[in-house]
């Protein structure tokens, strides 16, 4: 007989945006957690799983001097896109910070989430970890390139040693799936450089990838989890280090065995700097010019592999990265090894 009382039950909340409630990165995690819950909820400390939209939760409101909205929450899994609008991004940070102050475990907490929402900070992180990334200029750009802005750009772009005819990528500071990225050619002309919602623009040296290949490595609780190698089509190369997830990749990614030097860089240099990031991915390429490994993106919301070529047996046939991630989330919700 089930003796669990409703008051004994706590929820693992998968936090997302209304428009993403049916996203695979939410629903696949939900399904895996529900499978674990079915197996584990035989004792007196039951855990349930729910998807909760940020907007709906905030609309409910609560008395902030007595925030009982956290009473029945075991943990929050942050699956809110870091490309959310400024108001939703700010609300996410506030909600995660409030929950943490009441001792609620957060999977992918506010510090790393704040950094992921500012792409120029990705490059600062890579620099701090002594990892190379494409040369990138960040600047305040309210109107898309007036004379003062262009003078500033031309002055600083010299340090990137780019000749006329060289290609740059103009990228938004906050964005996802390649939205807003433009390909520019040196020398830049007035109004070439777009302005974005948060008034920050990134100009990045275009790096063509060796073999037209990009690499994404997923991490889980400070360790490399799995990785794929993806081949771009020729007409997609212009967006190589913009946001590879945006490319229309006709060929499925291939399971990739992470070399020891990459594993050492990520586990020994980068991931220790992300104190509240529990799962996500890092992308990089090898420059066609000199084979330098260049890191260009950190993502907390990247979708784990769904359809992967595995002819070389890099992964065991039974390997399920989604279930592995869900098992880690379940342990965190129980207060284990946060």
Strand partners, 185: 167
**In Å, what is the CA distance from 126 to each residue of 32, 191, 298?**
32, 30, 9
Which value, to the nearest 10 degrees, does the dihedral of the CA atoms of residues 96, 97, 99, 100 take? Answer: 110
pLDDT of the residue at 30:
97
Q: What is the mean pLDDT of residues 29-50?
A: 84
Q: What is the mean pLDDT of residues 119-141?
A: 91
92, two tokens: 């996410």
Domain definitions of the chain by residue range: 6-115, 119-132+208-315, 136-205
Cβ atoms of 26 and 16 within 8 Å: the answer is yes
Q: What is the mean pLDDT of residues 283-312?
A: 93
Q: What are the pLDDT digits (tens) for 241-290?
A: 444 444 445 678 999 999 999 999 999 999 999 999 999 999 999 999 89
Cβ atoms of 201 and 170 within 8 Å: the answer is yes
Q: What are the pLDDT digits (tens) for 42-85?
A: 554 678 999 999 999 999 888 777 767 788 999 999 999 998 98
pLDDT of the residue at 138:
82
pLDDT of the residue at 199:
74
φ/ψ of residue 45, rounded to 5: -110, 85
- Using alpha carbons, select from 141, 123, 217, 127 the residue that is nearest to residue 182: 141
pLDDT of the residue at 146:
55
- Using alpha carbons, select from 204, 201, 176 the residue that is nearest to residue 89: 176
pLDDT of the residue at 45:
62
Which residue would you say has higher pLDDT here, 4 or 275?
275
Q: What is the mean pLDDT of residues 128-149?
A: 78
Please name the fold of domain 6-115. Rossmann fold (3.40.50)
309, two tokens: 């070529």
In this prediction, residue 177 has a pLDDT band, given cuts at 50, 70 and 90, of: low
Lowest mean pLDDT, pick from 113-117, 242-246, 317-321:
242-246
Element (DSSP H or E) covering residue 225: strand 223-231
Is pLDDT above 80 for 174?
Answer: no
Interior/surface letters 198-230, b for 16+ CB within 10 angstroms, e for the rest? bebbbbbbbbbbeebbbbbbbbbbeebbbbbbb
Cβ atoms of 207 and 293 within 8 Å: the answer is no
Distance, CA of 49 to CA of 31 (rounded, Å): 9
Domain 119-132+208-315 in this protein, CATH class: alpha beta
Distance, CA of 185 to CA of 180 (rounded, Å): 16
Percentage of the chain lying above the pLDDT 90 cut: 56
- Using alpha carbons, select from 337, 338, 334, 336 the residue that is nearest to residue 12: 334
């Amino acid at each position: 007989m089930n003796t669990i009382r409703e008051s004994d039950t706590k929820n693992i909340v998968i936090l997302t945006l209304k428009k993403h409630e049916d996203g695979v990165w939410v629903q696949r995690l939900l399904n895996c957690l529900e499978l674990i819950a079915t197996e584990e909820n035989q004792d007196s400390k039951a855990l349930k799983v729910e998807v909760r939209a940020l907007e709906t939760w905030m609309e409910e409101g609560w008395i902030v001097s007595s925030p009982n909205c956290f009473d029945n929450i075991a943990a929050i899994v942050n699956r809110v896109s870091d490309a959310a609008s400024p108001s939703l991004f700010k609300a996410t940070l506030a909600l995660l910070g409030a929950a943490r102050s009441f001792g609620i475990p957060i999977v992918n907490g506010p510090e790393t989430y704040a950094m992921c929402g500012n792409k120029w900070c990705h490059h600062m992180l890579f620099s701090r970890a002594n990892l190379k990334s494409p040369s990138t200029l960040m600047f305040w750009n309210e109107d898309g390139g007036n004379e003062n802005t262009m003078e500033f750009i031309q002055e600083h772009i010299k340090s990137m040693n780019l000749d006329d005819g060289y290609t740059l990528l103009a990228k938004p500071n906050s964005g996802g799936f390649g939205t807003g990225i433009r390909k520019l050619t040196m020398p830049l002309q007035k109004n070439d450089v777009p302005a974005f919602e948060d008034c920050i623009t990134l100009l990045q040296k275009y790096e063509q990838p060796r073999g037209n290949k990009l690499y994404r490595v997923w991490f889980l609780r400070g360790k490399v989890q799995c990785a794929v190698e993806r081949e771009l089509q020729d007409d997609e190369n212009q967006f190589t280090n913009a946001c590879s997830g945006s490319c229309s990749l006709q060929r499925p990614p291939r399971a990739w065995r992470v070399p020891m030097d990459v594993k050492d860089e990520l586990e020994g240099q980068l991931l220790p700097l992300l104190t509240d990031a529990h799962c996500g991915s890092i992308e990089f390429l090898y420059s066609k010019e000199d084979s330098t490994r260049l890191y260009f993106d950190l993502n907390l919301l990247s979708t784990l592999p769904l359809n992967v070529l595995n002819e070389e047996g890099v992964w065991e046939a039974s390997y399920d990265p989604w279930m592995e991630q869900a098992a880690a989330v379940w342990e965190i919700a129980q207060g284990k090894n946060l």
